[in-house]
């Protein structure tokens, strides 16, 4: 879940740092749909209907292949183009990711608490 403020900050930072072809992936918390449902309607009856065609259980934000050309920063990842047509540039403060790294909604270290979910839902 990305708030409007987080989205605006990400865009401003990307505009400042981009050279062309990069993908900026913010480090934001994941959430579970069951937790979201409970925060919207506490105590509601929940029916599990299974996965519909085309649905995914988790979103892969940075694949293992992309991780080879990705730098990690405090608040985001920057996936650099495989062929930097603009030449290389110095992204100071970024560090390479370990072999086999993958960033997805199920292995994210940041998770929204029930309180945070309620606050986001109430804020609209």
pLDDT tens track for 29-88:
999 888 888 888 888 888 888 899 999 888 999 999 999 999 999 999 999 988 766 665
How far is residue 89 from each of residues 76, 92, 93, 112, 114, measured CA to CA in Å? 18, 9, 13, 35, 41
* Residue 76: count of CB within 10 angstroms of its CB: 18
Question: What's the pLDDT tens digit per position in 28-39?
Answer: 999 988 888 888
Between strands 60-62 and 23-26, the pairing is unpaired
Class of domain 4-123: alpha beta
Mean pLDDT for 16-30 is 91
Q: Work out the end-to-end distance of the chain between its first and last CA atoms, rounded to an integer number of angstroms.
A: 12
Report helix, strand or coil for 30: strand
Structural domain spans, the chain? 4-123
Report helix, strand or coil for 23: strand
Whole-prediction pTM: 0.82
Outline where 1-124 has alpha helix (H). Answer: 4-17, 33-40, 64-67, 114-123
Helix axis angle, 114-123 to 33-40, nearest 10°:
60
């Amino acid at each position: 879940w990305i708030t409007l403020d987080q989205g605006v900050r990400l865009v401003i930072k990307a505009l400042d740092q981009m050279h062309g072809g990069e993908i900026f992936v913010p480090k934001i918390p994941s959430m579970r749909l069951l937790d979201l449902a409970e925060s919207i309607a506490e105590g509601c009856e929940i029916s599990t209907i299974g996965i519909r065609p085309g649905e995914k259980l988790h979103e892969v934000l940075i694949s293992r292949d992309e991780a080879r050309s990705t730098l990690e920063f405090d608040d985001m990842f920057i996936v650099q183009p495989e062929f930097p047509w603009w030449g290389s540039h110095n992204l100071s403060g970024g560090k390479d990711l370990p072999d086999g790294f993958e960033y997805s909604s199920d292995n994210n270290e940041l998770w929204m608490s029930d309180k945070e979910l309620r606050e986001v839902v109430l804020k609209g």
